[in-house]
Amino acid sequence: MEHELKSLQKVYGVVIEFLTQYSFQLIGALIVVVIGWFGAKYVYALLMRLFAKYRLDMTLSRFLANVAKVLILTAMIVIALGKVGISIAPFVAAIGAASLTAGLALQGSVSNYAAGVLLIVSRPFKVGDTLLVAGVYGVVEEIKLSYTMLRNEDEELISVPNKKMIGDILVNSFEERVVESRLFLTYESDPLQAIALIQTTLNACPDVSQTHQPLVGIAQLAQGAIEIGLRYWVPTKRYFKTQYDVNLAIYQALRHEGIAVSYPKHEIQIVGGTFDPQKV
């Protein structure tokens, strides 16, 4: 029992000595941390108001304001540690080494975040635009700092890393997408009549854009057929449905007017002699 009391008295003495020697430093460190906490919150609110005034993107605004808040709070904690006599050099070295290791391990993610900031600042596209990137089509659903979300006609969500948005070729056709199609007519058909009929059919389709006028014409005079080319714009979210409806409407219109559509065929001519099927 006596041994335990001596141990407690020893601990008590060390605590009293520490408080006597470092009490003002502890109070000062606590004050610095409190000031840093409220200062960081004030700077966060101030930056958010400033960004809202200039209509900066909300995702980027919160990101930048949070970065400023964390930096201010970290700086105040470092100052507070110095106040109580704790050397911060080993901590700084450890944080630097950890940051380098994390940066090398997460360089792909970091590049996505950097690309996201560039996208939000430069705004090469917006929500609702139609994009072709990395071989996929879709309407922009949401722009995040690390990735961009696209939605296609099948209601599938496609997540594209933002470094692809910056590093790859990006095609933006806004709210619509172009349909390119071909059909073949026999040389006995009147191409002008067929072109006028197809143009009328396209103009009658409600989903075919009239802002971009549909183009119909002779693409080329192919061997054995006249190739008619079609280019028209449709809403991205109804791309395939509209294309199928237009194809059916054109087929029915050509058939109603008796315009013959060509199909692959081969002609065999026998010159001289008689044809013997057994020798073929």
pLDDT > 90 in the chain, percent: 27
What pLDDT is stored for residue 218 in this prediction? 94
Is pLDDT above 70 for 256?
yes
Coil/strand/helix, residue 117: helix
Query: What local confidence, expressed as pLDDT, does residue 253 receive?
Result: 93
Confidence tier at 191 by pLDDT (50, 70, 90): very high
Q: Is the pLDDT of residue 100 over 70?
A: no
Closest CA relative to residue 129, chosen from 142, 116, 120 = 142
Overall pTM surpassing 0.85 (yes/no): no
Distance CA 128, CA 223 (A): 43
pLDDT tens-place string over residues 143-169? 888 889 999 888 889 999 988 888 788
Using CB atoms within 10 A of its CB, is residue 64 exposed (0-12), middle (13-18) or buried (19+)?
middle
pLDDT band at 142 (very low <50, low <70, confident <90, very high): confident
Sheet with 176-185, strands from edge to edge, namely 176-185, 225-235, 215-222
Residue 83, phi then psi, degrees to nearest 5: -65, -35
Rounded to whole angstroms, how far apart are CA atoms 149 and 224? 46
pLDDT at 79 exceeding the cut of 70: yes
Q: What angle (nearest 5°) sits at the alpha carbon of residue 276, between those of residues 274 and 280?
A: 130
Q: How far apart are CA 136 and CA 130, in angstroms?
A: 10
Mean predicted confidence (pLDDT) in 106-124: 77
Report the distance separating Cα 179 and Cα 171, nearest Å: 15
User: How is 25-91 classified by DSSP, letter by letter?
Assistant: HHHHHHHHHHHHHHHHHHHHHHHHHHHHHTT--HHHHHHHHHHHHHHHHHHHHHHHHHHTT---HHH
Task: Give the model confidence (pLDDT) of 10-48 as tens digits.
Answer: 666 666 665 566 666 777 778 888 888 998 899 989 988
pLDDT at res. 240: 92
Q: Given this model, what pLDDT does residue 198 score?
A: 95
- Cα 7 to its chain centre, rounded Å, is 65
Average pLDDT over residues 113-119: 83
Residues facing residue 226 across a β-bridge = 185, 221
Give residue for tokens 């996208």.
Answer: 119
